[in-house]
Amino acid sequence: MAETYEYLNDCETYEKILKDLLKLSDESKDKNIFSITLSKLIDFYIATGNLHEVENIFDQYKELVINMNKNKNFYTILKFLYSYLEQEKISEAKCLIKNIIYEGDTLWGKNSLFY
């Protein structure tokens, strides 16, 4: 249903549905729906330039985000990102992130609002 509002360019309703679904998936402990919805909501905020909302969502669901499934490769990537950020190489960190998202996340692929 949220995709219908996205297609119709009804940003307010699209955001509300995603936020409601995020809350419901958290309450029902559905980690899969939570992850998919969170990804779409972040994608929406990036596309609309509401980056402060990404931080608000993180603050609200910090524990769940930190405890999302990870593998050893995830930690290696974080080490690269940390290194770039420590050197204040923001553009390199952004490029790495975009490349990883573009290649690996089916939600943020070639048809994403993010690109």
One-letter amino acid identity for 49? G
Query: What phi, psi does 86 have (nearest 5°)?
Result: -65, -30
In whole angstroms, give the CA distance from residue 32 to residue 60.
18
Token pair, residue 115, equals 């690109």
One-letter amino acid identity for 46? I
pLDDT single digits (tens) 45-81: 988 899 999 999 999 999 999 988 888 888 888 899 9
The structure's pTM equals: 0.73
In whole angstroms, give the CA distance from residue 55 to residue 23.
16
pLDDT single digits (tens) 72-98: 888 888 899 999 999 999 999 999 888
- Cα 52 from chain centroid (whole Å): 13
Asked if 20 and 87 touch (Cβ cutoff 8 Å), the reply is no
- Cα 42 from chain centroid (whole Å): 4
The full set of domain ranges for the chain reads: 1-68, 70-115
Q: What is the pLDDT of residue 55?
A: 94
